[in-house]
Structure 1
Amino acid sequence: MSTDVLLLNLTRFGDLLQSQPLIQDLHDSGHQVGLVCLDNFAAALPLLRHVDAAWPLPGAKLMAALDRDWRTAAAQLLDLARRIRREAAPRHVVNLTPTLPARLLSKLLAPTPEAVLGFGLDPEGFGVNQGVWSSFLSGATLRRLNAPFNLVDMFRMVGAPLFAPGIAGRPGRFSLRTPPDAAMAHADALLARPENLPMSAHPKGFVALQLGASEARRQWPVAHFAALGERLWREAGLCPVLLGAPAERPMAREYAACAARDRTPFVNAVGRTDIPQLAALLRKMRLLATNDTGTMHLAAGLGLPCLAFFLATAQPWDTGPYLPGCCCLEPALPCHPCSFRQPCPHGHACLTRISPTSAGDLILARLEGGGWQAGLSPELRREARVWLTETDARGFAGVRSLSGHDSEDRSLWLSQQRPFWRHILDDLSSNAAGQAAGPANGHIEKHAAGQTGGQLDAPPCSPDFCRQVTPVLAQAARLLDMLSEQGRLTGKSAKAGQLFLLNCERLQNLLNACPPLASLACFWRELRQERGDRMDELLHFVGLLAGHLERWAAHMTVSSRNPL
């Protein structure tokens, strides 16, 4: 049962599924992969490929024990960690969960602290992120509105130091196993009994509708789903199949009331499937219409195309389906996506912005002609930003606008961040082993970094946006240059050490005050905190980062003078 790489993912169902491409990459690199996940998602394990051993963590049981007696809970966790470590005997631990309990568990499971990739703990018990992609993922988790990469690719790059040559540069492969025969038989039994089906009628196929989401403010209205289902039956003879967990049964009852009024057949599978049975149902569907949910990621792993609604805080850039050819809809409102933990001042207008008519046009176009474009209408372009999922030239998942909203500053900025962050993170990752060059070569490193990657094809933002961001990038590069100089004198001059710390904080405050640079602000905070006790390594990265920011500022300056 021993494995040389132990993967920890103690997050949600969808995030667990999105570990599959990383597991595939590790397997293709010759590793035996073990997995620690929450026990309430253990039913998904038979769907994952190349998991050589798995240890479900009884999170709810441990929390209940903690409420009774923390000493008992700690003893149970230690016993479990010892058993996993003994059975797995891992050489490396890849922790994708940034919480403190998961960091502690990774420390207990790893043979040495240096064997942890991703989210770990330092010797004093403070959180540390091992690897520059881990630092970026940590910041992206906190400030997702500035995350230009799909979560799957960020997971993959956290584990990339363990990949064989060439694997990190290829597109990720998200392919789940076929559900077991018993689950397929259960799906057939559910589909055999649609409600409201006329005696002489026979469905020409099935379309799945995922009604729920993690929050009510991220749910397309049930009445909209019902209107969509009625049209798909009336015009295409497709029977809607309702999907969801037991807690979503009230929404299924609301849908049933609408369907009874419209005399529309449907299959109610809400609360009537486990994870393999849900996968089996999806295998029998022609398409999925869904909110941003774990069901959407399950469908992507099974190769089922979907029409996905991204409302409130959700956006397809980072949590969209990892499957080319899916269609993602965001409400075309200036306030979308909204910030986390803030009440909506607009009465949740985004929920009803996208009409059932527009969604139906897209689905019928996709089912009848194989593409979404025929379903685009002037009305839809006013209602929604329409995105098509695809793979970019460097193997990462991305989205492309079908509705002309790629000219908005938010879209342009996210597109521009992708090549620059790839240059920055790939350069810092590849140079991590070259720290021996030392801080004295900071200017040489900066110059080399500025020449890395050849011609950039990042699209320019508007002149006003560029004028907002460019001075901050330029000032940040200058501060990094100052840090490089002052860092070489720390230990020799008390004043240089004080100035170094002061300018570290000045840089942090500068970036914090510029919302478009939220990801950079989080990245700098993580970078300096993790390497504050390794000055040579920190200064090595400071020199590299300065060159990239100078180049970024120069690109923004040209863009402001020569807009598209």
Structure 2
Amino acid sequence: MKRALVIQLTRFGDLVQTKRLVLTLQRRGFTVHICLDHSLKELARILYPTCEIHPLIAHRSGIEGQGLDTVLPVNYEIFRQLSEIDFEEVYNLNFSTMNYALSSMFDSEKVKGHKRVNGQPMKDPWFELGFRLAAERRNNINLVDYWAALSPDMIPAADVNPVASSGGRGIGVVLAGRESRRSLPYDILAPLVMSARSANMNKDIFLLGSKAERGAGRKLLSKFPASVAESTINLAGKTNWEGLVEAVSGLDMLMTPDTGTMHLAAHLGVPVLGFFLSSAWCTETGPYGEGHTIFQADTDCSPCMEARPCYSDMKCLAPFKNSSRYIATRKPEHLPEGISVFESGCDFLGTQFTLKAGNDATGERRLRLRKFIGSHLGLLDIGEHGPFPELAEKFYKDKDWITA
């Protein structure tokens, strides 16, 4: 029996976005083990029911006491279990201290992604190239494809998630994301929800979020007409992982910023209407698969770095105030300046986003980069450098050609 270990110690959305890699490994005949933070273990068992799950305490959130006397015994046991399994391949997707500690347990020749070699942190050559490609964030590839490309013989992108289609249960609304600058304030979000409800003739609305968003849910409800508020259910803070999956399944649409729930909807085949602004850019972290729509803020400073303060008075937020009419009509002339609308689909490399309204100043460049990456990964037969000498010169470094 072949075994592979995937080390994914980050958050909700990243766990869902590991799906193409997991499915690829399974199709290659591996039994897949996933090591993740304990807070996601129940979700992992829903998403990946045939995988072996190894939950350790990576973030210590929600653990009683949270002291070393709690953390160490749990993590020691997980380390012990993993050390006794003969893994043929280990995929270390993040570069935290815990990730490096875990990867150091295994022969570095087996580890793909981030690892230590003779005590020195190193990246897989594909990750080295990926970090360079990230310099052009507007043209970057989807994170799902970035992780999956660590493995040979990636499954086709179209085989990862179902084609999105309306399920008849109404509209889900995610109240906020982890980064506040990526989320729409309730007074801007409310008219957008009303337009979507009117255009799709939906009756029921489900508000989704954590306990911290309960207040935002109440404020959003206060902006709805009384008749709409009566058919709106505020589920913020009321669902566990199983309940969230149940709440999202079968929706006609999920309206959301860039969130883990958005990726869950794509996993379930629920159409996403995503609002991307600030540091969120759809080609990097948009919903995976076919049938999703993204309203992308397109200003001269986007996408920004979320770790840096905004010195532009959040000008990427302003166009969303005037987007209700476009949501209702889907006529390009009703789209305000500063927003571009993209629809998702699949190509030779993975998930791509095609312009439907607005502007896409880097679209031609992005297509060339996708072909360059496809050639690099052996997905396109264009030759060693292909017709992209300027891209090869920019993204390849001398050390890429040095062999031992």
TM-score (norm 1): 0.63
> Which residue matches 1:194?
none
How far residue 85 of structure 1 moved from its aligned partner, in angstroms, is: 2.4
Does 1:421 pair with 2:376? no
- Structure 1 residues 402 and 263: alpha-carbon distance in aligned structure 2, compared to 1, 3 A threshold: closer
Q: Deviations over 1:77-118 (max 9, x none)?
A: 4443122222x432221111122320221222x2x2211111
> Which residue matches 2:208?
243
- Structure 1 residues 300 and 65: alpha-carbon distance in aligned structure 2, compared to 1, 3 A threshold: closer
Structure-to-structure mapping, 1:189-268, within 5 angstroms: 205-233=169-197, 236-259=201-224, 264-265=229-230, 266-268=232-234
339-348 or 305-314: which moved more? 339-348
> Which residue matches 1:85?
83
Long gaps (5+) in structure 2: 163-167
Paired with 2:197 and 2:370, the residues of 1 have a C-alpha distance of 41
| Percent of aligned positions that are identical | 23
How far residue 156 of structure 1 moved from its aligned partner, in angstroms, is: 0.8
Q: Which secondary structure does the structure 1 equivalent of 2:403 belong to?
A: helix
Q: Which secondary structure does the structure 1 equivalent of 2:207 belong to?
A: strand
> Which residue matches 1:107?
104
Equivalent position amino acid for 1:41 in 2:
L
Paired with 1:34 and 1:138, the residues of 2 have a C-alpha distance of 26
How far residue 75 of structure 1 moved from its aligned partner, in angstroms, is: 7.2
Alignment partner of 2:313 out of 338, 342, 347: 347
How far residue 121 of structure 1 moved from its aligned partner, in angstroms, is: 0.7
RMSD between aligned residues: 3.4
> Which residue matches 2:403?
536
Counterpart contact for 1:312–1:350, Cα < 8 Å: yes
Counterpart contact for 2:375–2:383, Cα < 8 Å: no
Higher RCO (C-alpha under 8 Å, 6+ residues apart): 2
Does 1:127 pair with 2:93? no
Structure-to-structure mapping, 1:57-68, within 5 angstroms: 57-61=56-60
Paired with 2:305 and 2:58, the residues of 1 have a C-alpha distance of 29
Paired with 2:368 and 2:275, the residues of 1 have a C-alpha distance of 24
- Structure 1 residues 73 and 327: alpha-carbon distance in aligned structure 2, compared to 1, 3 A threshold: closer
Q: Deviations over 1:436-469 (max 9, x none)?
A: xxxxxxxxxxx9624x4xx67xxxxxxxxxxxxx
Q: Which has the higher strand share?
A: 2
Alignment partner of 1:412 out of 339, 364, 368: 364
Paired with 1:23 and 1:172, the residues of 2 have a C-alpha distance of 15
Counterpart contact for 1:230–1:262, Cα < 8 Å: no
How far residue 262 of structure 1 moved from its aligned partner, in angstroms, is: 7.8
Q: Which secondary structure does the structure 2 equivalent of 1:117 belong to?
A: strand
Paired with 1:314 and 1:68, the residues of 2 have a C-alpha distance of 34
- Structure 1 residues 327 and 65: alpha-carbon distance in aligned structure 2, compared to 1, 3 A threshold: closer
Paired with 1:340 and 1:90, the residues of 2 have a C-alpha distance of 37
Paired with 1:227 and 1:95, the residues of 2 have a C-alpha distance of 43
> Which residue matches 1:196?
none
Structure-to-structure mapping, 1:441-456, within 5 angstroms: 449-450=384-385, 452=386
Counterpart contact for 2:186–2:219, Cα < 8 Å: yes
Paired with 1:172 and 1:134, the residues of 2 have a C-alpha distance of 23
Paired with 1:43 and 1:345, the residues of 2 have a C-alpha distance of 40
Counterpart contact for 2:256–2:272, Cα < 8 Å: yes
Alignment partner of 1:152 out of 144, 153, 165: 144
Does 1:329 pair with 2:288? no
> Which residue matches 2:156?
170
Counterpart contact for 2:15–2:44, Cα < 8 Å: no
Alignment partner of 1:309 out of 275, 295, 298: 275
- Structure 1 residues 230 and 51: alpha-carbon distance in aligned structure 2, compared to 1, 3 A threshold: same
> Which residue matches 2:354?
400
Long gaps (5+) in structure 1: 161-166, 177-203, 366-374, 431-446, 457-469, 478-516, 538-564
TM-score (norm 2): 0.86
